[in-house]
Amino acid sequence: QGNIRVFCRVRPLLPLERHRQRGLQHLHFPPQEPRSLVGRERRPELRYDFSFDRVFPPGASQQEIFQEIQLLVQV
């Protein structure tokens, strides 16, 4: 792998956001591909595919994230 790695962490919704947006229905985290994030508009034909070195969904714990990046931050 190269010198630059790009991670994406989607934070959990705040209570006010949860009420307005009714969840993260516009984001999809493919379980078989932890490097992908799919964004969708209200129109189903619009789809945005993003690729990262790793994607952490809102339910990811601090420990899970640290385990993934610990070698990077210790260098």
Confidence band of 61 (pLDDT split at 50, 70, 90): very high
**Model confidence, pTM:** 0.69
Q: Which of left, alpha, beta for 13 (phi over 0: left; psi -120 to 50: alpha)? A: beta
pLDDT in tens, 15-28: 887 777 665 666 77
Burial class from Cβ neighbours inside 10 Å (0-12, 13-18, 19+) for residue 15 reads exposed
What are the pLDDT digits (tens) for 30-50?
778 878 877 776 666 777 788
Write down the domain spans for the chain.
Answer: 7-72
